[in-house]
């Protein structure tokens, strides 16, 4: 039986969510409950229009261990991509309920996404990594600047763009583009964790609490 996805658990009943948190000691005490290191490829079509994103999300060890329980079907001690494929599909397709934790604006115009495709998952160094392609509903041009943000407004999950300048890469885009990445500033984790679960349960996707933890990439092309 497939393990429940994080995204599925987050929208499930409270008792199921509580069970998930209890099963993951590293995230059991307070928000955030899951930590994700992200990389993103910005995809361009043959006309050098922005056609979508390729997200690469690596989960923390605690969540990775929990969500992959029972998936080593052949018992060889190795979690193969085939054994993780159903879990990858469940995660990727559940993301629509959370707007994919992703915002894209081309010259200030917000972009909408189609259904995720090309999803998969690998398990390496005790961490699960989910990859999926998020197409734009309509290809877009950014004559001035493209803005990409990745974060959870409710801060149930903490996203952080990977270190280095290549955490956001262009695939097939114009030459000479400049990318500037802003990651969440250092915050007083103890203060955040002292907030009650009731506080976080009251947050919705329209809440702005998680804005302070947003990752932002600005891409300017000549």
φ, ψ for residue 125 (rounded to 5)? 50, 40
Q: CB-based contacts of 107: which residues, under 8 Å, 6+ apart? A: 141, 142, 143, 144, 145, 146
pLDDT in tens, 170-210: 999 888 999 999 998 766 555 676 777 788 777 776 777 77
Q: How long a stretch of residues is the chain?
A: 222
Per-residue CA distances from 81 to 1, 72, 213 (Å): 16, 10, 31
Q: CA 221 to CA 88: how far, in whole Å?
A: 33
Asked if 42 contacts 55 with a C-beta cutoff of 8 angstroms, the reply is: no
Strand duo 146-150 + 215-220: pairing: antiparallel
Output the pLDDT for position 19: 33
Q: CA 177 to CA 90: how far, in whole Å?
A: 35
To the nearest whole number, what is the mean pLDDT of the chain? 83
| 51: Cα within 13 Å, side-chain hemisphere | 11
pTM of the model: 0.84
β-partners of residue 105 are 110, 147
Task: Judge whether residue 48 has pLDDT over 80.
Answer: yes
Q: CA 66 to CA 21: how far, in whole Å?
A: 9
3-state secondary structure of 13: coil
Asked if 36 contacts 67 with a C-beta cutoff of 8 angstroms, the reply is: no
pLDDT in tens, 15-44: 233 333 334 444 444 577 889 999 999 999
How many other C-beta atoms are found inside a 10 Å radius of the C-beta of residue 203?
A: 17
pLDDT in tens, 73-100: 999 999 999 999 999 998 888 888 889 9
Instruction: Give CA 40 to chain center in angstroms.
Output: 10
**Where exactly are the structural domains of the chain?**
6-220
Strand duo 178-182 + 215-220: pairing: antiparallel
């Amino acid at each position: 039986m497939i393990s429940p996805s994080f995204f599925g658990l987050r929208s499930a009943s409270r008792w199921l969510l509580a069970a998930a948190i209890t099963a993951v000691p590293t995230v059991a005490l307070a928000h955030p409950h899951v930590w994700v290191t992200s990389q993103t490829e910005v995809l361009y079509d043959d006309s050098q229009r922005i056609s979508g994103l390729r997200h690469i999300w690596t989960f923390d060890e605690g969540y990775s261990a929990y969500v992959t329980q029972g998936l080593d079907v052949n018992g060889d001690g190795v979690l193969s991509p085939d054994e993780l494929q159903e879990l990858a599909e469940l995660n990727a397709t559940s993301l629509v309920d959370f707007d994919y934790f992703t915002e894209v604006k081309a010259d200030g115009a917000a972009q909408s996404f189609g259904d995720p495709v090309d999803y998969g998952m690998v398990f390496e160094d005790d961490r699960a990594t989910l990859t999926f392609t998020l197409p734009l509903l309509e290809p877009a041009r950014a004559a001035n600047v493209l803005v990409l943000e990745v974060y959870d407004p409710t801060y149930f999950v903490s996203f952080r763009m990977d270190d280095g300048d290549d955490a956001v890469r262009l695939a097939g885009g114009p030459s000479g583009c400049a990318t500037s990445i802003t990651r969440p500033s250092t915050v007083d984790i103890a203060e955040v964790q002292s907030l009650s679960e009731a506080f976080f349960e009251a947050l919705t996707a329209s809440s702005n609490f998680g804005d302070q933890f947003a990752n932002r990439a600005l891409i300017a092309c000549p």
